[in-house]
Amino acid sequence: MEQEFTANGQFRSGENGVEHILRTADKKVDFIVYPDHTLAYIHSSMGYPAIYPLYPVEVRKPVQAVLMDLDGTSVHSEDFWVWIIELTTASLLQNPKFELEAADLPLVSGHSVSEHLKYCIQKYCPDKTVEEARHFYFEHTHREMQAILVGKGRKNAFKPVPGLKEFLLKLKAHQIKIGLVTSGLYEKAWPEIYSAFQVLDMGDPKDFYDAIISAGFPIRKGQVGTLGELSPKPHPWLYAETARVGLGIDFSQRHSVIGLEDSGAGVVSIRLAGFATIGMAGGNIEQSGMMPLVSHYCRNFEEVEKIIFDS
């Protein structure tokens, strides 16, 4: 959507070389278009926006590395985490019958926990705080994850995406490095991928992937947290760190790296890190308005394989 100003008022269309300002459908990103370059202004409901360059990308073969999102791309789990957000909001409202609306779904997936909770607070319970919401969120998360790890809890919470095993093994056979990237905190992300690997009979994910990165550990009273709530997708740092630090791929070789994502926030994250993006169907890429940022859009891993391996 064409805009006159960026959300912070810093840039104006038609002034100081700015040709256009475009806002995504989910209102999370403003693209500031100049004749020879583009900037991306990332909104933040937590009060910490940021501006990054949007680099041109291409796919150069042979592909050296594939960076893969977890939720939705590798494992079907979005329904579970939306349910946790719903439980959290219900707790804040003291209304166990509360349900999210269909219009909420693109805004309670793909970003950080705090961004999701902030959205629900603003819409449903503006008298509450993110801190109160995080208390309930982690209470529900801890209870449900412990139940799942012992074979109880919500059934079919984490299901491997069809074709995942065959795709991963083919990448390995061609000596292509594989990085797993998630905005999820470790305590929610690790049981997901571990559970999926047990279903697929693939052993320990730490022994398979060349690098795995999550949003770390939450800040809690009496415990040490890690950076992760203000810097995850759509910011570039998770993908950039996985490729540069985890896989040892220099920025100058970025065109030989491909990212796979099913969320609009993830697509932006990959692009801002400087990599070509393959969008995966089933997420919110189309609804969030991020289709112009993907190099390809695939329905399954077989279609992804054709892009990587066909000459």
pLDDT digits (tens, 9 = 90+) for 92-101: 999 999 999 9
**Going by DSSP bridges, is the β-strand pair 29-33/20-23 parallel, antiparallel, or unpaired?**
antiparallel
Name the nearest CA neighbour of 28 among 277, 303, 293: 293
Query: What number is the average pLDDT over the span 94-114?
Result: 88
Report, in angstroms and rounded to the nearest whole number, the Rg of the chain calculated over CA atoms.
19
pLDDT of amino acid 75: 95
Cα separation, 36 vs 55, in Å, equals 11
Per-residue pLDDT at 151 exceeds 90: no
Count of CB atoms situated within 10 Å of the CB of 179: 23
Cα separation, 310 vs 56, in Å, equals 23
Cα separation, 142 vs 218, in Å, equals 12
Name the nearest CA neighbour of 88 among 49, 116, 56: 116
How far the first Cα of the chain sits from its last, in Å, is 36
Contacts for 105 with CB less than 8 Å, ≥ 6 apart: 82, 284
How would residue 115 be classed by pLDDT, with cut points 50, 70 and 90? confident
Q: Which helix (H) or strand (E) holds 190?
A: helix 186-200
pLDDT of amino acid 118: 93
Cα separation, 221 vs 297, in Å, equals 43
Count of CB atoms situated within 10 Å of the CB of 152: 10
How would residue 158 be classed by pLDDT, with cut points 50, 70 and 90? confident
Amino acid type, 154: R
Q: How far is CA 25 from CA 41, 125, 267, in A?
A: 14, 24, 14
Query: What number is the average pLDDT over the span 175-202?
Result: 91
On whether the CB atoms of residues 233 and 114 are closer than 8 A, the answer is no
| Spacing of C-alpha 187 from chain mean position | 16
No. of helices (H) and no. of strands (E), the chain: 10, 12
pLDDT of amino acid 64: 98
301 or 228, higher pLDDT: 301
Cα separation, 275 vs 257, in Å, equals 6
Per-residue pLDDT at 73 exceeds 90: yes
How would residue 252 be classed by pLDDT, with cut points 50, 70 and 90? very high
pTM assigned to the model: 0.85
